[in-house]
Amino acid sequence: MDRNRRVSVEEVKHIAELAHIKLTEEEETLFTEQFNRILDYFSKISEVNTEGVPLTYHVLDLINVYREDEVQESLGEEEPLKNAPKREDRFFKAPRIV
């Protein structure tokens, strides 16, 4: 990342506008400084010599840890509906959303 790349106050205002957030002038200044510090941290990470270091996609060496599939009896019609606040025949009843 380019160490000279800086986030401007105008960009912070634009981001706030996109997020529908109202910021005071003090907050705009504060967030501009914070964004630029974050970019500085990324620049430092880019300076680390990683030659010969294998890529790491996960901090733990786990590979698809799943339980064994076991055939079990499925739920009947009443079991899933027993705690439903509203039901109609064999179905959950929910309010219309449209």
8 bridge partner residues: none
Residues 71-91 have a mean pLDDT of 89
- Token pair belonging to 53: 């270091």
- State residue 36 phi and psi, 5-degree precision: -70, -35
At 3 the pLDDT is 52
pLDDT at 2 over 60: no
Q: Which residues contact 5 (CB under 8 A, 6 or more apart)?
A: 39
For 3-53, how does the pLDDT look when each residue is reduced to its tens digit (9 = 90+)?
567 999 999 999 999 999 999 999 999 999 999 999 999 889 888 898 998
Q: Would you list the domain boundaries of the chain?
A: 9-46
pTM exceeding 0.85? no
> What is the pairing mode between strands 91-92 and 87-88?
antiparallel
pLDDT at 1 over 50: no
Tell me which CATH code domain 9-46 carries: 1.10.20
Instruction: Please answer whether residues 86 and 94 qualify as being in contact, where contact means their C-beta atoms are separated by less than 8 angstroms.
Output: yes
What single-letter DSSP state applies at residue 75?
Answer: P
- Residue of higher predicted confidence among 18 and 90: 18
Q: Is 58 left (phi over 0), alpha (psi -120 to 50) or beta?
A: beta
